Structure 1
Amino acid sequence: MTKFRALRRSVSRYLDGDAHDGNGADVAGLGTVDDGGWTQAPLPTQPATVTAG
């Protein structure tokens, strides 16, 4: 069985001043959704290789 190292992740929030103008110049970062993040084991690209453990 292959074991993966758990990774620390977080998700950032953004606000688009005008979401319909097709221009990314007015996108502003608003920080992270949760500064604590979460721990998640990476998943292999072949689902048959995933085992519960």
Structure 2
Amino acid sequence: MPQQRFRFRELLTKMEKCNESLRAIGNNENSIEQQLNELQTNLRDIVVFIQK
């Protein structure tokens, strides 16, 4: 159980970092697309974790 909490917290931290990066990027479309892809991956990981 502690490992699951740690993994969930790790996923949330990754999502928070993506959020901060998206806010800092501005109008650079390449960086925005890259960050959105990373955010999508993080959200998918969180959904998979929750479904377990």
Shorter-chain TM-score category? Answer: under 0.3
Which structure's residues are more often helix, by fraction? 2
Q: TM-score, normalised by structure 1?
A: 0.18
Which structure's residues are more often strand, by fraction? 1
Q: TM-score, normalised by structure 2?
A: 0.18
Q: Which of the two has higher C-alpha Rg?
A: 1
